[in-house]
A and B are shown apart, each in its own frame.
Chain A
Amino acid sequence: MLLELADVSKSYPTGEGILHVLRGVSLALDAGESLALTGESGSGKSTLLHLAGGLDRPDQGAIRFGGQDIARLGDRELASFRRVSVGLVFQQFNLIPSLDVGHNLAFQARLGGRHDADWTDRLAERLGLVKLLERYPEQLSGGQQQRVAIGRALAGRPQLILADEPTGNLDEATGDAVLDLMLALLAETGAALLMVTHSTRLAARLGRRLHLTAGRLT
């Protein structure tokens, strides 16, 4: 088992009191498996994704990655976990604006010490970015940016890709193309995918689906 969430709860303080975002969620994901997480806006699906990616810690419960409870890690170890083990793809792309496409592609892999120039080149080729390597993010279209983000996530060959509405900012045709590309590359690398989406159409294309309602899996 690659990723296991056990009875995970998370709440945030807000102006109107405590907001319980996740209430005892458990799920498991095997290596190479792809899982779609659907739910209404505010159901807690993004929070779940962030917890799985080590961006935040749960209030309760365990998040095991390869058997290790990452919820118990310190900041430094958690950062190291993010560098090495996860690839993140966001709706807003969240590229590093000061770096060109080439550097963005390799950024995380180099941070994690897993940079493989050949692989990165191949990714660039597969993603159609070869001619864009020296451009800066702001000079790219949304679809191009998301392809860079996908490349960045995959460059370090992480075991898990976490994607939060990766096509949410793209039109349907572009979105479908980007998703096709991502799924194909995932198949090549054997990485597992946990994808948050509100679209049942897209969710249907993944191996498994889970639905989140008001912080609980249904």
Chain B
Amino acid sequence: MLAQGFLALLSHWRRHRLQLAMLLLGLALATALWSAVQAINGEARASYARAAAVVGQDRLEQLVRADGMRLPQSDYIALRKAGWLVSPVIEGEKRFDGERLRILGIDPVTLPREAAQVDVGAEDIGLSRFITPPGLFIVSRETADRLAGAATPPLSISEALPSGTVLTDIGIAQDLLDAPGQLSRLLIDPRQPTAAKPLAEVAPHLVRRAPVAESDLSRLTDSFHLNLTAFGLLAFAVGLFIVHSAIGLAFEQRRPVIRTLRAVGLPLRTLIGLMVAELLVLSTVAGLIGVALGYGVAALLLPDVAASLRGLYGAEVPGTLSIRPSVWGLGLAIAVAGTLASAASRLWRIAAMPLLAPARPRAWSLASERSLRLQAAAGLALLAAAWLIVGFGAGLVAGFTALGAMLLGAALILPLLLSVLLKLAAALSKGVVAQWFWADTRQQLPGLSLALMALLLALAANAGVGTMVQSFRQTFVGWLDQRLPSELYVTTRSAAESLQVREWLRQRSDAVLPIWNAELRMFGQPVQVFGIADHATYRDHWPMLEAEPDAWDRIARGEGVLANEQLMRRAALRLGDTIPLEAGVSLPLVGVFSDYGNPKGQVIIGVDMLVKLFPDASRLRYAVRIAPDRAPQLAADLRRAFDLPLENVVNQATVKDFSLKIFERTFAVTAALNVLTLGVAGLAIFASLLTLSGMRLSQLAPAWAMGLALRRLALLEVLRSAALASFTMLAAVPVGLGLAWMLLAVINVEAFGWRLPMHLFPLDWLRLFLLAVASAVLAALLPALWLTRRRPADLVKVFANER
């Protein structure tokens, strides 16, 4: 009985293969986009975790200098001699054949076992090789591939290391980083003897730092991943509209079967159970397809994601995916949960359906104005909530919550809006066909509103994100011109070379501007300190957002500090606030400049001040001013004179080009997700129209009988879909603008720390409008075509006494 009941239910799908395909496709697509985002995020997070776990930073307390500078090795010895079980680490960056690597030097002998990710004593490495020059680089396979052919010490592979990180001996690292006798931090072994002397006695300038469970990277990139997750969720929600409409149709069409099954004695409970089982099977199949598809999408997107993470945050994420059980589990779970949620109302209706309910498919009733108004009121409440959250909330999650509330609110208002618009159109139209067209379109709203809401979300997201990206681009390009006024940028390899190069350039260029920098911690975050010379290059070009009138003079005199926008926002600074630079030295904030694309806080002081305060500052980089036409020759001469690698002398155009490329790749993922979301929305409309087409016949047949030819009816059907899409697009533009504003003024500020001006790009909307109409027409085409193929006998059946 059970099996037969199940078969009877399932037989529906054999006769409605397209419906089945729709259901599976919708669910699979929704799951795919969601899983793709999960897979990408998972990969990135795993790599941050690897980075965080490197040398046990996530589990071990550390000793560091309070100012973030390096500490002398003598501190290490003094601490050991005082009974502290600590192990030295030095960290820095170095380029090998253009590949920027994070160099991590450790002492394998004293390294606490919590920190030993790699067994240096293992036979394939060997302690002797590891510590004896030229030493050994332990890297991940991906990093090894990137380094193939580069002039590095011999490589050894370990997958415990994050991409782009080199583990090597402390002595080797000190040499590579040109930092003899210097350490970045000391790892504290958890097994400390009781007799050690107090830290204040041995090394008073060092402070204990708690284990960093979460790396700076994972904090910085949080916003990026939240962004992706939000998009994944949006895509999933849009996909669920398809599922909802496919399930709806299937349930409607199976009412007779259900009635019969119940009539022959299948208990309601069992019947519901069977239907849930059926949904479980279907959603599991679709979920599996979806996750597999998601991995495909993720694999396609990941290189771009990896590139933008590297460009934006310096985060190293491998360009290859690994299969994660969590992604599979979550993907399947969300597919099943989404399906059951979509089907819940249908199941409820079946449970409540009287045994002898009419077998006739229920016509879509004209949704009462009242329910539309209620829905719209809820939408308005959500919009108000969004407004309140923006006004009073703080933080990225609040930002995205507001965004979600706004989108959902707008979507809920849409049906009433469309209803009003269509009513208006009907009132304004004169011809009988036009009146019927609008009236009938309005009648379709309840059946199509979910799909149209999905379309609205997709269109608004497209318009909003498009506006945000374009605004960003326009601002960014202008900003690059301001930020990179110098013709050449030179990076020298050592302090000695730096002096020689400076002298050499001084005789051959208009100006040599040092770009020297140090790192420190202030306001609880790492901050770069740059020293710049007093030069017209800065006075004329620097992208200041606000500044005291005499800002540049005060910088030059060493009496002021400039901060970038992100630091200003994060630390809630105002002009005139004092910025603590070094122990005992604080300077007033005299200006704020925009610094797009930089995840870190940055301050600028006069170069003399930098040298005074931070004697250990890196003094390797210069900007060179020279007539643009002479720049290439000078660059070539400079490279030849000092045998500098290509990447150490770059011209302005190259830097801009590089920056723009990072920019493009950053938003490539967003664009791809946008297009996919729109595609899913188009599919949702298609699925809904397909669902409706079965029921449309009884509504169209009277018009046909009264003398409207089928071809004309079909054409009107296509027009109807296009009209709805057009109206939806009209609604989507303001929603999109709201979205763009929120992204630019709320999300970006929270996530990146900068606020961008909004620009409008109506041509893009036109393109989107055409895209929306095209997708709606495309979605309506097949059902319309079927309509023209209907034989009179099918239509006449509508009038037959008993169907």
Contacts and interface: CB of A to CB of B under 8 A. Distances in A.
A and B touch in the complex (CB under 8 A): yes
Interface of A: 12, 46, 50, 53, 55-57, 75-76, 79-84, 88, 90-92, 94-99, 103, 106-108, 110-112, 115, 136, 138, 152, 164-165, 168
B706 A99 contact: no
A164 B801 contact: yes
A94 B433 contact: no
A97 B366 contact: yes
Interface string B693-721: 00000010111111111111000000000
A111 B796 contact: no
Contacts of A106: 432
Interface residues of B, number: 32
A108 B793 contact: no
B707 A80 contact: yes
Interface in B750-798: 792-793, 795-796, 798
Contacts of A56: 792-793, 796
B432 A110 contact: yes
Interface string B394-426: 000000000000000000000000000000000
B370 to A, nearest CB: 14
Interface in B310-362: none
B440 interface: yes
A55 B795 contact: yes
A57 B702 contact: no
Given A55-B705, A88-B706, A90-B799, A98 B792 contact: no
B537 interface: no
Given A75-B709, A79-B707, A96-B703, A103 B439 contact: yes
14 contacts: A12-B793, A55-B705, A76-B709, A82-B707, A91-B801, A94-B705, A95-B702, A97-B443, A98-B440, A98-B699, A103-B435, A103-B436, A108-B707, A111-B708
A98 B801 contact: no
A98 B799 contact: no
A110 B435 CA distance: 11
A136 B367 CA distance: 12
A53 B702 CA distance: 13
In this complex, the member of B701, B707, B710, B711 whose beta carbon has the largest number of chain A beta carbons within 10 angstroms is B707
Interface in B256-275: none
Contacts of A95: 702
Contacts of A138: 365-366
A116 to B, nearest CB: 14
A88 B798 CA distance: 13
**Residue of A46, A99, A112 with most chain B CB atoms under a 10 A cut-off:** A99
Contacts of B432: 103, 106-107, 110-111, 115
B371 to A, nearest CB: 15
Interface in B663-715: 699, 701-712
B707 A83 contact: yes
Contacts of A84: 707
Contacts of A57: 792
A179 to B, nearest CB: 17
A138 B699 CA distance: 13
A111 B796 CA distance: 20
A83 B439 contact: no
Contacts of A111: 432-433, 706-708
A96 B801 contact: no
A75 B801 CA distance: 25
B711 A75 contact: yes
B436 A98 contact: yes
B426 to A, nearest CB: 9
Contacts of B366: 97-98, 136, 138
A88 B709 contact: no
B477 interface: no
A105 B520 CA distance: 83
B706 A82 contact: yes
A55 B791 CA distance: 10
B207 interface: no
B363 interface: yes
B453 to A, nearest CB: 21
B442 interface: yes
B515 to A, nearest CB: 71
B713 to A, nearest CB: 10
A108 B707 CA distance: 8
B508 to A, nearest CB: 82
B442 A98 contact: yes
A56 to B, nearest CB: 4
B706 A92 contact: no
Given A55-B792, A103-B435, A107-B706, A94 B701 contact: yes
A106 B439 CA distance: 15
B723 to A, nearest CB: 14
A75 B711 CA distance: 9
Contacts of A98: 366, 436, 439-440, 442-443, 699
